[in-house]
Amino acid sequence: MTTLEIVLVAQAVASGMMAGIIWFVQVVHYPLFAAVTGPAAADYARANQARTSLVVLPPMLVEAVAAAWIAVSPPGGIGRGPAVAGLALVALVWLSTLAVQMPLHARLAREGHAPGVVAALVRSNWPRTILWTARAILAAWMLAAVSR
């Protein structure tokens, strides 16, 4: 297996993992924050942040590195446009995560039970869910395009 093939497989796997995770988060995990009440809600939010980071950070980093690699040196069959679009999708996901979701999680960790914050978290996460879904589709297409 060539280095390029390894990068494309790693990208497809990481993007697919994150698309699956984000759909679970969007439909199940984030809405359930509203059910965590009482004094333990802030502790729950802090523990959630720590544990979630262990699960999502490795594939997010693999995805970002692979997307950058492919954008810098797009393989034949993919072209610069899709390669740069893939990197742009990753950048938008990271921007949303850092600028929107992380501050909302921090509020939950400080305030505990906050239905308005949970509603904002669920609502604001839809664009990220769509971006990661598009990213996974693009990564799968890239792998297939080079494998032909």
Give DSSP secondary structure letters for 45-112. HHHHHHHHHHHHHHHHHHHHHHHHHHHHSPPTTT-HHHHHHHHHHHHHHHHHIIIIIHHHHHHHHHH-
Q: What is the pTM of this model?
A: 0.94
Round to whole Å and give the CA distance between 33 and 112: 10
Query: What is the reported pLDDT for 1?
Result: 86
79: left (phi over 0), alpha (psi -120 to 50) or beta: left
- Position 130 pLDDT exceeds 90: yes
- Residue 117 domain boundaries: 3-147
In total, how many domains does the chain have? Answer: 1
User: pLDDT for 76-110, tens place per residue?
Assistant: 899 999 999 999 999 999 999 999 999 999 999 99
